[in-house]
Amino acid sequence: MSTQRRALVVGLGIAGMASAIGLRQAGWQVTVIERAAQRRLGGYFIGLFGTGLSAARRLGVMDAVHMRTPKSTKTWAVTRAGDRSRTNGFLDQPGEPQGVLRGDVEAALFEHLGDVEVRYATVPTSIVDVDGGALVTTRHAATGDERCEKFDLVVGADGVRSTVRRLVFGPHERYVKPLHAMICAFQLESQVPYFPAEHGLVLAEPRRSLWVFPFEDCPPTALFSYRTRDIDAQFQGPVREVLRRTYGPEPLGEILGHVLEQFDRAEHWLFDSVSQVHMPSWRSGRTVLVGDAAWCMTLYSGMGASVGLAGGSLLGRLVARHGEDLETALRTWEARLMPFARQHQRAALFKSQVFTPSGPVMHFLLKGLNRLGAKRSKDNEPTALEQWFVRPMNVDFAD
């Protein structure tokens, strides 16, 4: 009889695939189930920091990640009236973050799944701890077929609205904290007129902003980010109307007009509310949560993908190191990651102001700060304050 231990990973995103590869490296037999009928592609701009890059190296996928950082880039603070001034962009942060599409990271991970079995259109419906394992019932979306299997470990990597979390830990409302903000991200067909393709743009106003993130070899992605107390109302009616209402009634101007016009023709986008996930523990019996399901920090932190990679990679290494003692492996894993995740969740609240100022005073202060920051060119040595600020983004979870 085989003594190889079996893991079920729920979710074929960055955290799920990183966990699958990590556990496979530890010698486990891994099955991934994914709700969607097929693997998703493309996505939006992601900045990968040192934490994510070193995890990608450990997972053996680094060379396969298509990096798209523009060789020479500038970012412009712009207004609806068409004024522009130099500012610091996302990739100007010290620590040399790399610009990628989310799909670039997912494609690299997928390529390295090896003998991991992937079952699409499949969701968990029940997870129960039994003697020496977890009994999981899954259902196929198309056929309705149910299957019940025993696993040594269940990894819930099914995102911010995690089903695994609901089944094992309790209702979403207990853990999901809304930030009263909405985002809409999509890939432009072409750059905003009069700006080179490798340049970024930031149009920030009180409570609403537009960011254009450039790449080296594909059109930029745009991100609308705005604050609202009425999240439900944002999901009523077509997104294009919601965005035009939110960014009106003032005349749009050329830049907003161009991006909204391209949105009207876009086939794929992500439109969602922004929430963090706060939990006292990410593990219960034979189940552990990883990635946004466990610690969603939001896009404002700029660290979700990086920590998803690090979390999956560290899980595999600790499970390998502690052998039969799964309880110690999971406890050590959580103790290593939780302070880090909490730190970035707090930082995200501050950074959300940089993305989208919460009011006129913040908007005014940030404009001043940006002017000061823009004086430093990317080639200058980062200041001590900048180094202190980005250090947590480059932590290497070696073991």
Ligand X SMILES: Cc1cc2nc3c(=O)[nH]c(=O)nc-3n(C[C@H](O)[C@H](O)[C@H](O)COP(=O)(O)OP(=O)(O)OC[C@H]3O[C@@H](n4cnc5c(N)ncnc54)[C@H](O)[C@@H]3O)c2cc1C
16 lies in the site for ligand X, by CB under 6 A: yes
212 interacts with ligand X by CB under 6 A: no
Residue closer to ligand X, measured from CB, 118 or 319 = 118
Q: Are 313 and 22 contacting, i.e. CB atoms less than 8 angstroms apart?
A: yes
Q: Which residues pair with 178 in a beta bridge?
A: 275
Q: By CB under 6 A, tell whether 94 contacts ligand X.
A: no
Q: Does 304 bind ligand X (CB under 6 A)?
A: yes
Looking at residues 156 to 175 of the shown chain, list those that interact with ligand X (rule: CB under 6 A): 157-159, 163
Residue closer to ligand X, measured from CB, 198 or 254: 198
Half-sphere exposure at residue 265, Cβ-oriented, CA atoms within 13 angstroms: 9
We find the least distance from the C-beta atom of residue 325 to ligand X, in angstroms, to be 26
Q: Which region, judged by CB under 6 A, interacts with ligand X, from 41-49, 70-78, 338-346, 372-380?
A: 41-49
Q: Counting contacts by CB under 6 A, is residue 104 touching ligand X?
A: no
* Closer to ligand X by Cβ: residue 303 or 341: 303
Residue 13 within binding range of ligand X, rule CB under 6 A: yes
The CB-of-237 to ligand X minimum distance in angstroms stands at 21
Helix (H, G, I), strand (E, B) or coil at 82: coil
Location of structure tokens 């009523």? 236
Q: Judging by beta carbons within 10 Å of its beta carbon (0-12, 13-18, 19+), is residue 250 exposed, middle or buried?
A: exposed
Q: Which is nearer to ligand X, 81 or 148 (CB)?
A: 148
Buried b (16+ CB within 10 A) or exposed e, 135-165: bbebbeeeeeeeeeeebbbbbbbbbbebbbb
d(CA 380, CA 399): 33
- Cα separation of 12 and 106, whole Å? 8
DSSP 51: H
Tokens of 356: 């989208």
Q: Compare residues 122 and 284 and give the one whose CB is closer to ligand X.
A: 122
Tell me which residues in 61-90 interact with ligand X (CB under 6 A): none
Q: Tell whether residue 35 is a contact of ligand X (CB under 6 A).
A: yes
Query: 193, exposed or middle or buried, with CB in 10 Å at 0-12, 13-18, 19+?
Result: exposed
Q: How many amino acids of this chain bind ligand X (CB under 6 A)?
A: 33
Residue 183 is a binding residue for ligand X (CB under 6 A):
yes
Nearer to ligand X, 14 or 341 (CB): 14
Please report whether residue 11 would count as binding ligand X according to CB under 6 A: yes
In whole angstroms, give the CA distance from residue 217 to residue 256: 23
- What 8-state DSSP symbol labels residue 282? S
- In this chain, which residue has its C-beta nearest to ligand X? 304
| φ, ψ at 186 (rounded to 5°) | -160, 165
Find the part of the chain contacting ligand X (CB under 6 A) among 14-22, 79-87, 233-241, 255-263. Answer: 14-22
* Site for ligand X, rule CB under 6 A: 10-16, 33-36, 44, 46-47, 102, 123, 157-159, 163, 183, 185, 223, 270, 291-292, 299, 302-306, 308
